[in-house]
A and B are shown apart, each in its own frame.
Chain A
Amino acid sequence: MEVLKEKVEEEEEAEREEAAVRAERGEKVVRPMEVQREEAPMTQEMLRDLEKKLSDIEMAIPEKLSTFTKDTIDTSKLPLSYQSNTLKEEHLLQVADSFSRQYSHLCPDRVPLFLHPLNECEVPKFVSTTIRPTLMPYPELYNWDSCAQFVSDFLSMVPLPDPLKPPSHLYSPTTVLKYQEGNCFDFSTLLCSMLLGAGYDAYCVNGYGSQDMCQMDLTRDVCPLTVKHQEVVQEEEKVPPKKYAIKPPRDLTSRFQQEQETKKLEEIKAEEERQLREEEERLLDVEKAKTDPLHGLRVHSWVLVLSGKREVPESFFIDPFTARSYSTQDDHFLGIESLWNHKNYWVNMQDCWNCCKDLVFDLGDPVRWEYLLLGTEKSHLSLTEEEEDGLNDDDDVENLGKEDEDKSFDMPPSWVEQIEISPEAFETRCPNGKKVIQYKRAKLEKWAPYLNSNGLVCRLTTYEDLECTKTLEIKEWFQNREDMLELKHIDKSTGLNVDYFKPGHPQALRVHSYKSMQPETDRIMEFYDRARVDSLVKREETSKTMTEYYRGRSDFLSYRHVSFGDRVKKLSLNSAESNPRPIVKITERFARNPEQPADEDVAERVFLISEERVQLRYHCRDDHITASKREFLRRSEVDHKGNKIVMTPDMCISFEVEPMEHTKKLLYQYEAMMKLKNEEKLSRHQAWESELEVLEILKLREEEEEEHRLTISIYDTKRNEKSKEYREAMERVMHEEHLRQVEAQLDYLAPFLAQLPPSEKMTRWQAMRVKDECLSDFKQRLIDKANLIQARFEKETQELQKKQQWYQENQVTLTVEDEDLYLSYCSQAMFRIRILEQRLNRHKELAPLKYLALEEKLYKDPRLVEFMKVFV
């Protein structure tokens, strides 16, 4: 068996060498390409598959495409539908041409229509057929806002070659996706395809936009992330006054005075407002851009979504560059030439003198919108149809193909391949995984997850001035961090840092705001109290105090305030841990414990440690306004004579709302004091532990910041190293197993045994013959192989000799280049000859050994062994 293995190896080796040789010769490996081309018409799918794979490869190593022109697109690989038109499409083009002619005849002063630009293969294609409605397999891409965001993130914008004219080419969405670049028409075609696939009533619009919009210039726009959500003040429902509600006490203040007051206040307010307005106006003047000389002429393409489907209440525009939605009355949209979806094409016949504000998007109205194809006309006028539309809403996606067939007898199906976005591309989103958007006084940077080693995915920098030089604040969003950090907010003006965490931090941290990481400085830590044993919600620290808030504890503690004194100087300078600051005062507040009577339920407990006093305030009874109080003094443990004082009445001063008998007793007071003594010790310990915990958290945070490890989901097969290794190991094992099985199946005796008559038992003579035949066969093979090598060797030698001859004959006339070529050929040929020689020698050496090995093996073969035994 080993012999055979070696043989296989050798053959492989030979192949490799040949390939190497060929590569060295500078010959291109064309074979696979040829194969592919041959197969292309036969198996479209395979081609697509390959194409997809190739595109994947390109994603992995993104190369910088400086220009996105036709030259960079390999049209040869595109399917047939890209490269030619079907009969139906030809017919459609003719229809479109005649429509265009009529149109230009009727409206000579209008721009020619954007009907059938060329595609990447220089074939004219009707715009509607370029739209390929596709529902993406990602649930994130089911709604229009996420779709638009994806398109705007995924593609980088290329300005139109001529800003005043529609482009001459309109590439298929698949090509655009592949190269991640496009102009506004590419953007809107892709977005429209996705929205139609998701069931929206979407249209591509060819029209005119403002300069900012056409050039994707957001520097005059406020960043949407900086806009604070205005809190909707919930109107408190006015409860109608109840029948027996008490009348308020009589108001005895002067009404005249009040009026004067309000007048004065209003005046001040008006003055302030006026100043504010002036300031704003001044700012606006500064910001106002120079007027655009080409205003209203710049061609732009965007997407219109009509109301009705997918519960869209009102029609709106989507700018595909920025993924923002605008109302149809927005100032940025200056006019519409035409619009189309995958079924039809409409020309706007309404006047756009007032931008798009007066346009009526009733595509069923033939006066306002001139349609191209009659059959697919969609009536928005009749109610019944609309209802039907509503009913069919859900099946729309499935029915797309069908509808094309039976409804639009004229509009051929799209020539574009199915739009596919690979999961990697979907995750990477932006080209190279990075995108920067400049807004007014703000800069937004986006990264793909896992691109940055610290998990940074988004950074928003806000500036104070328009030129973006003075940083105001920085917000950084993170993803997949092991420490669950979600957002880091740095306020440059105050120097305050706020870190926000998702649930799952080892210390249950939720928010951490600080100015420096030094302990014993101002900081606020908020926690996920349900994840903590001590139900801590918040811990505020200043240099002298620490305040903790709790929620839902079984001992009803809700608040603890600790004030520290100055640290006592010790001789040896120790760290904070070994020399804690002395505690001056601990204040603890408790929520009401419903199981205890109010008079015994402590509401506030103050340990004045330096004065050795304890103050207790109890909860207020339900129908009382005063609460019981008690104060314990611990000053005199020993009286002036040296006798131990256990308890005297003046050690406890108490005020009771309803004096009770048993509380007056010294025994009761003594027991209460003993209890408090213990509790004081506990509280001090708690305070000390809290301090330690702060130190610990700070240390942990620093470590985390340095390490910034990222978590990888166990379902993420690409990034999860461990599972990848495991999987690869499994695959390797499987492969080896498979090889072994194949080998085991490879029976070197099979061909010879097959020759025997299928009798029940092999005779000894037959066995001998099988053995001999096998051996002789193998011998023949060895000889053949030697001959083959010999033949190649001779061929090479002959060629070399020929070349040498040729060289000697033409030596005089040769140019330097030819000579170089010849010399390099010679050295290569010599190398090959040497290799062949070596192989031949090695073969000669090994052949007898292999022969013997096979013989040995044959002797031991279980099928022959019984016959051989006797023989041996």
Chain B
Amino acid sequence: MNWLYDSVEPRVMDEDMLKLAVGEQGPRDEAGQLARQEGILFKDVLSLRLDFQNILRIDNLWQFENLRKLQLDNNIIEKIEGLERLVHLVWLDLSFNNIEAIEGLDTLVNLEDLSLFNNRISKIDSLDALIKLQVLSLGNNEISHMMNIIYLRRFKDLRTLSLSGNPIAEEEDYKMFICAYLPDLVYLDFRRIDDHMKELAEIKHQYGIDELKQRENLIQAQLDDERAQREELEEHKAAFVEHLNGSFLFDSMYAEDVEGNKLAHLPGVSELLQAYKDKFVIICLNIFEYGLKQQEKRKVELDTFNECVQEAIQENREQGKRRIAKFEETHLLSLNAIRDESEVTNLEMKIAEHSKDITELFNMLMTLEMQLVEQLEETINMFERNIVDLVALFIENVQSLMAQCRDLENHHHEKLLEISINTLEKILKGELDEDLPYDVRALFVDKDTIVNAVGTSHDLHLLKIDNREDELVTRTNSWCSHLVDAIHKDEIMRNRRRVKEIHQYVDHVQNELDNLECSEIID
């Protein structure tokens, strides 16, 4: 074989080559004549064969957007590349090339049949995106490690596999191992796997498989958990109350609060803190539940609105369809009548009559559409009012709850200040029994210092609460305005489309009539 490659220069996939191939493989006979007249666009091509072309580098294939089948076998390709745009590809043949690694297939999610026969591949990987893979041909390669098989377990649809001619095929356990670890496989190396074989393999490798399965299940369960959590969080975010179902906010208040943490060591403060936390969390939970409830309400509101609008549109559409169907009947009849008419005066009269009909249809359809627009506008406005009210109510209530939080904080602050000043007095008098850590004791030098420290902590807490509130309010408001905007926009788009459609149809009908007239006159 080598002399062939040596003697011929590698070729480049240029436009001429592709055109030639498309032309050769395109339709034949009369259809081919037509095709030649019009020329074939690359994006209309579904199947392309480029074998024995001495291609070294895959290139210039980006125009073939709709390609389903691509054959690039018996070339001298060394690297899989340039196939990113061919997302509809189902069948890819890259056999008899010089490929060393599997790569560049990450966008081909529709691929079902992949052939990499007779290459230099030593490792099976980078196939993760190919979830629909059914046939995989990897014979005559350099795969030497059995563990490559386990990688193939992720392809649930894989039925046919060929690996003969690889170093692993030499191993005595080769068949058994594959049958055991890929139980859904039907054909191996072009032969059907019989049930007996399957059973034997399963028994033989039972331990290994069980272990593997256990591990896979664990990973799967973990993934499921994570997903569930993520979904829950998404839901909460949609209700704008994420992380409010616990002490998250409270914890975040103290996370950056150095002074607050220091002051917690004072006698009596820890109990105070605990009580404060409990109360705070209860309010947070209230906000959370209220948020979820409001979210539900909003959803119901939106659903009813959508349903009603859809119903109205459907109803209107049915009416329109009926009108058109009725018109088409008369249209056909009168066209025929006009065609058969010979007398000029009658002809003109009929034509005039028919154009009147067309105008009438146009007016009717337009009236219908305008009616719908008016009705929808009214409904949309009503919905807008309601949803804005809902959101305002929600915000108001949340704000009042947040105010409660602030009150708590203020209360706590006063208490803490009292305790701190008491402690300071005790320290000054030297009556303090307990041992305080050094850095805490450092705060109690004079009154200003301690008041400042407590004040800083208090300010920080208030800031956190304010931030959370602001975030909630802004997000809610923006959601609301986005929603309303989208609804308006959709309605406008719908209206535009319908008007365009009506115009188009009426123009078409009018054209038909005009064409008829022209031909009459010519006759």
Contact = CB atoms under 8 A, between A and B. Distances in A.
Interface of A: 242-247, 249, 620, 623-626, 646-647, 655, 657, 662, 665-667, 670-671, 674
B299 to A, nearest CB: 14
Interface stretch (B111-119, B156-164, B186-194, B372-380): B372-380
B486 interface: no
Contacts of B378: 246-247
12 contacts: A242-B308, A244-B308, A246-B379, A247-B378, A623-B497, A625-B317, A655-B505, A655-B508, A662-B44, A666-B38, A667-B35, A671-B31
A665 B38 contact: yes
B375 A625 contact: no
B31 A670 contact: yes
B375 A246 contact: yes
B9 interface: no
Nearest to B66: A662
Chain A contact residues: helix, strand, loop or mixed? loop
B305 A244 contact: yes
B33 interface: yes
B37 interface: yes
B365 interface: yes
A625 B365 contact: yes
B375 A249 contact: yes
Interface string B38-73: 101000100000000000000000000000000000
Given A242-B307, A244-B308, A670 B34 contact: yes
A243 B309 CA distance: 11
B383 interface: yes
Contacts of A247: 375, 378
Most buried by B among A242, A244, A655, A674: A244
Given A625-B320, A667-B31, A246 B376 contact: yes
B275 interface: no
B228 interface: no
B304 A625 contact: no
B149 to A, nearest CB: 36
Given A249-B375, A626-B324, A626-B501, A244 B31 contact: no
B13 to A, nearest CB: 25
Nearest to A659: B504
Contacts of A626: 324, 501-502, 504-505
Interface in B305-348: 305, 307-309, 311-313, 317, 320-321, 324
A666 B40 CA distance: 11
Contacts of B376: 246
Nearest to B35: A667
Nearest to B376: A246
B494 interface: yes
Given A246-B308, A625-B317, A666-B37, 16 more contacts: A243-B304, A244-B305, A244-B379, A245-B312, A246-B375, A246-B376, A246-B379, A624-B317, A626-B324, A626-B505, A646-B30, A647-B30, A665-B38, A666-B34, A667-B38, A670-B34
Shortest Cβ-Cβ A-B pairs, 9 listed: A625-B320, A244-B308, A246-B375, A246-B312, A646-B30, A626-B505, A244-B305, A655-B508, A667-B34
Contacts of A646: 30, 33-34
Interface of B: 27, 30-31, 33-35, 37-38, 40, 44, 301, 304-305, 307-309, 311-313, 317, 320-321, 324, 365, 371, 375-376, 378-379, 382-383, 494, 497-498, 501-502, 504-505, 508
Contact of B324 (A244, A625, A662, A674): A625
Contacts of B508: 655
A148 B424 CA distance: 106
Contacts of B371: 249
A624 B307 CA distance: 18
Contacts of B324: 625-626
A393 B9 CA distance: 101
Contact of B317 (A623, A657, A665, A666): A623
Most buried by B among A245, A620, A647, A674: A245
Contacts of B40: 667
Contacts of B307: 242, 244
A243 B30 CA distance: 62
A651 B508 CA distance: 17
A525 B301 CA distance: 51
A358 B54 CA distance: 110
A244 B317 contact: no
A623 B508 CA distance: 19
A662 B42 CA distance: 12
A154 B63 CA distance: 88
Contact of B304 (A244, A662, A666): A244
A247 B308 CA distance: 11
